[in-house]
């Protein structure tokens, strides 16, 4: 006798016993019901998505590409007087003062054997986010980790190479990073490490191997030998992210085509909790509105003040908070694993002007700088989009703090576009505020 699956038996029983015991309807996710006075002015997830994507993101993309190749620096957004105290610009490339602990740079003592005998290298590199499918190595995708590990394969020791051959695996090295970045997110000073038991490996050889793998898309800033104790992720004390949000200019055709491409290429947006469809006509209704106008759709304003965003973000500074409502692809409440608390050292927003190398013009932007001991998955992008949404709705300065106690992640906005996000650097000593770009 062939047994019928349990799900099939349940459906059959429901049909036989009548409509009273029918299977429950599918869960219908609706917009989160905010209870404050700004609830009628706050954008829905769909409206927030459209507002964020109707931007000249290609200009930001080009700017980040120039930075990766050493032709631009973040100091050009604000003026040299803001960053001259902590940054030095050499040949158009921006470098940060060395911040490693002396003990992390000490070499293993001679005569040690086993794991202490291996050589560990710290690799500081920059890469263009839109040229890769994120950091993490994945089958069939062009990722930063995959490219680096293929380049490091030539430095693998013989024992490991033989083990990989026996398993019929490619001879790749193993690269560990300070943090993963999503597809489209650029990194200016990502930190990763690689170790080998070979004694003839030179730092310059590693640098040349990676630089030749994808010229113009990835660039190694430095390679240095460090001690066995160094770990790019666990040794880090803070990470700094930068987000550039461009305002629309008079050339609306470029913005329309970019928004159309983003919406039509991914007609259904999923944030891990719910999905909504975004059509072309809705996108057009957003991109035909000037950012600085007071036009509204119903009671919802389509403009915001950068100073308001700055006030919202500054309330996060110096606090250890649970950002579970701002995370995506991460369980809202965890019984095991790392907690969702993050300590924010610095959170500011300021107006800036994005230089355009093609025509010599500049585009008005809002830059957001966030420094914390750790960040959750997509936390920065959700935080940026939510801060903009709350500023446009006219919420009070504690709006982001109040959202920490929300009961559903639909209370926060969908993640902002990844093209605006950049991992600036990673720190291994105590955070110093004079390293910040936005005072």
Backbone angles phi, psi at 50, to 5 degrees: -65, -40
Q: Is 260 exposed, middle or buried (0-12, 13-18, 19+ CB in 10 A)?
A: middle
DSSP characters over 236-265: --EEEEEEEEEPP-S-HHHHHHHHHHHHHH
Clarify whether 182 is annotated catalytic. yes
Q: Choose the catalytic residue: 172, 182, 271, 425.
A: 182
Q: CA 144, CA 195: separation in Å to the nearest integer?
A: 18
What b/e string do you get for 51-80 counting C-beta neighbours within 10 Å, with b at 16 or more? Answer: bbbbbbbebbbbbbbbbbbbebbbbbbbee
User: Across the strands, what pairs with 243?
Assistant: 368, 421
User: Across the strands, what pairs with 300?
Assistant: 297
Long-range contacts of 339-344 (CB under 8 A, 24+ apart): 340/376, 342/372, 342/373, 342/374, 342/375, 342/376, 342/379, 343/319, 343/372, 343/373, 344/316, 344/317, 344/318, 344/319, 344/370, 344/371, 344/372
Give the three-class secondary structure for 160: helix
Nearest by Cα to 287 from 253, 245, 246: 253
DSSP characters over 283-311: HHHHHTS-TTS--EETTEES---HHHHHH
Q: CA 187, CA 214: separation in Å to the nearest integer?
A: 15
User: Across the strands, what pairs with 120?
Assistant: 195, 226
Provide the annotated active-site residues.
Answer: 182
């Amino acid at each position: 006798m062939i047994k019928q699956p349990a799900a099939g038996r349940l459906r059959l029983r429901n049909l036989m016993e009548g409509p009273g015991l029918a299977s429950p309807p599918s869960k219908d996710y609706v917009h989160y019901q905010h209870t404050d006075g700004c609830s009628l002015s706050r954008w829905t997830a769909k409206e927030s998505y459209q507002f964020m994507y109707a931007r000249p993101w290609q200009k930001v993309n080009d700017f980040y590409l120039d930075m990766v190749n050493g032709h631009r620096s973040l100091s050009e957004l604000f003026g040299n007087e803001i960053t001259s105290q902590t940054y030095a610009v050499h040949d158009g490339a921006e470098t940060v003062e060395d911040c490693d602990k002396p003990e992390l740079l000490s070499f293993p003592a001679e005569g040690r054997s086993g794991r202490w005998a291996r050589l560990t290298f710290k690799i500081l590199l920059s890469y263009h986010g839109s040229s890769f499918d994120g950091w993490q190595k994945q089958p069939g995708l062009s990722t930063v980790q995959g490219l680096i590990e293929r380049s490091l394969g030539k430095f693998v020791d013989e024992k490991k190479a033989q083990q990989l051959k026996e398993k019929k695996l490619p001879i790749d090295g193993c690269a560990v990073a300070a943090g993963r970045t999503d597809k489209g997110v650029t990194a200016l000073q990502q930190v990763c490490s690689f170790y080998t038991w070979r004694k003839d490996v030179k730092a310059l050889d590693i640098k040349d191997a990676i630089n030749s793998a994808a010229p113009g898309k990835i660039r190694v800033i430095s390679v240095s030998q460090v001690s066995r104790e160094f770990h790019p992720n666990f040794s880090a004390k803070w990470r700094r992210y930068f987000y550039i949000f461009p305002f629309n200019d008079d050339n609306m055709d470029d913005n329309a085509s970019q928004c159309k491409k983003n919406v039509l290429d991914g007609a259904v947006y999923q944030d891990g909790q719910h999905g909504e469809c975004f059509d072309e006509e809705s996108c057009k209704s957003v991109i035909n509105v000037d950012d600085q106008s007071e036009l509204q759709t119903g009671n919802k304003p389509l403009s915001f003040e950068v100073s308001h965003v700055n006030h919202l973000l500054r309330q996060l500074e110096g606090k250890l908070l649970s950002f579970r409502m701002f995370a995506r692809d991460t369980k809202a409440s965890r019984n095991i694993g790392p907690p969702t608390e993050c300590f924010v050292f610095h959170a500011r927003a300021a107006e800036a002007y994005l230089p355009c190398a093609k025509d010599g013009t500049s585009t008005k932007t809002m830059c957001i700088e966030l420094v914390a001991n750790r960040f959750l998955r997509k936390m920065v992008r959700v935080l940026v989009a939510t801060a903009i949404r709350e500023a446009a709705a006219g919420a009070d300065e504690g709006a982001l703090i109040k959202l920490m106690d929300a009961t559903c992640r639909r209370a926060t906005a969908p993640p902002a576009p990844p093209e605006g996000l950049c991992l600036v650097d990673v720190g291994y000593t105590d955070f110093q505020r004079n390293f910040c770009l936005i005072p």
